[in-house]
A and B are shown apart, each in its own frame.
Chain A
């Protein structure tokens, strides 16, 4: 399971979002605050806090909060399935 609250907390902090703004429907192309610097900052924080690394092409393809969440979900499932995965 994704550490949902932690991911949402990181996302809100990076994007400077109000607490009452729902994050699930946020799409990068429609949300001007999500520029390339904030995108990089978001990935860096996820790497640091959740210990999840992405490949370059994956980073470029993340274009919505939902996609980010499902990518992390997939990565954590893979990690649980293979305990030897660094």
Chain B
């Protein structure tokens, strides 16, 4: 029962009507309604995840209350926090053990738990007193499958007191859901050129540079359409429930540097990693005791952070290498910009193009299974030779891939900059109708989101 399946909507629509009716009249207890639907959703999708959330959530709930009772800044407080973080990481690692149990999106609730523990231990927030409210936030079905990563102080007040439903916000939420479904369809359609090319990388006989570029552009478009498509559906469902949370994607391929790309792509993970990994590693209490030059400390912390994000995508040498690749690019840009003379006129278009090229090269790490395949793909891309299948069909495929890359980005740019157009105006409804028709005609049912279960 994924969020793009008919079964989900058959259950969700009656729930939404009851929830809205109840929340509007009673004005309380809405979080328990969401908790109930989350439990139902998890029973359908992964009872193991429900068990893991209840057990680890209960341990962290009790532990956080205990931490709060200890003196601020004490060693005991830090040790308890450390133990709870280890417990959370244990759940995360356990969820990745192949075929042991089928867990769903463990990282999205585990990261929420870790942030909660760190913030309570640091005295930034108070430990939550009500277990049902707390667990409704940890298990919220909207964000559990593929994010975005939400933080308890951000979500819980909204679960307790959701925003009232009005025509404009509901229309915007519906547009987001339809846009997400259309993106998911685009992502599924793109799997053909991507799988077709990467299944043969490293095999005898070159496929040609044109085919390699088509596949790489399709890979970039597929990642964006699939992941941001899920986020759109999640934020749309949240919007219908009166939960308004921050964006997880802001047209990442329009970024002017790799660092900027990370601030526009899977934003919630980037900020989580920045706040709870990079900052403690680089500037935290224990880091202050390590006497190494500042640039080396920064480079090491950044590399560890990006390797962590790489390993989040999968446990493999390629994922690790992808983290190092990104860290190297960011550090190089950082140094180059320092060397640039003041007043140096930079071209935004050139920066965006170079960044897009580098990000695409990096994506090869995540789609191949060894350094040999990465190298073979990079070589093919830059060999500028035609392959055996160079015909009109290939050119048409290339054109469609470019459209699949450009149209969702332009539409998202329009949505982010002119949100009002999608809040019940005829323009927003017309676009939604086109997207819905596209989804109904071309959808490929049964295909999971790429980042489901992370």
Contact = CB atoms under 8 A, between A and B. Distances in A.
Interface of A: 16, 18, 33, 35-38, 40-41, 43-45, 47-48, 53-57, 59-60
B161 to A, nearest CB: 25
A40 B259 contact: no
A3 B155 CA distance: 41
Contacts of B260: 35
| Interface SS, B side | helix
Interface stretch (B79-87, B281-289, B375-383): B281-289
B125 to A, nearest CB: 10
Nearest to A61: B124
B388 interface: no
B282 A18 contact: no
Contacts of B340: 16
A18 B343 CA distance: 9
A81 B298 CA distance: 33
A33 B344 CA distance: 13
Contacts of A48: 294
B282 A56 contact: no
B288 A40 contact: no
Given A35-B259, A36-B274, A37-B302, A47 B279 contact: no
B288 A53 contact: yes
Nearest to B122: A57
B278 A36 contact: yes
A44 B298 contact: yes
B297 A57 contact: no
Contacts of B259: 35-37
Contact of B330 (A33, A37, A41, A43): A37
A43 B283 contact: yes
B294 A41 contact: yes
Interface residues on B, range: 20 to 34
Contacts of B118: 56
Given A16-B340, A35-B259, 9 more contacts: A16-B342, A37-B259, A38-B334, A41-B295, A44-B282, A44-B283, A53-B285, A56-B275, A59-B279
A37 B122 contact: no
Given A44-B282, A44-B283, A53-B288, A18 B342 contact: yes
Given A44-B294, A44-B298, A60 B279 contact: yes
Given A41-B294, A44-B298, A56 B274 contact: no
9 contacts: A16-B342, A35-B259, A36-B278, A37-B330, A37-B334, A38-B334, A56-B118, A56-B283, A59-B283
Nearest to B282: A40
B337 interface: yes
A54 B119 CA distance: 15
Nearest to B260: A35
Interface in B247-299: 259-260, 263, 274-275, 278-280, 282-285, 288, 294-295, 297-298
A81 to B, nearest CB: 18
B397 to A, nearest CB: 37
Contacts of A60: 275, 279
Nearest to B298: A40
A40 B124 contact: no
Contacts of B283: 40, 43-44, 47, 54, 56, 59
Contact of A41 (B122, B280, B298, B342): B298
Contacts of A53: 285, 288
B122 A56 contact: yes
Contact of B279 (A38, A40, A41, A45): A40
B418 interface: no
B342 A57 contact: no
Contacts of A55: 122
Interface in B114-142: 118-119, 122, 124
Interface in B61-120: 118-119
Nearest to B259: A35
A45 B294 contact: yes
Given A44-B298, A56-B122, A16 B337 contact: yes
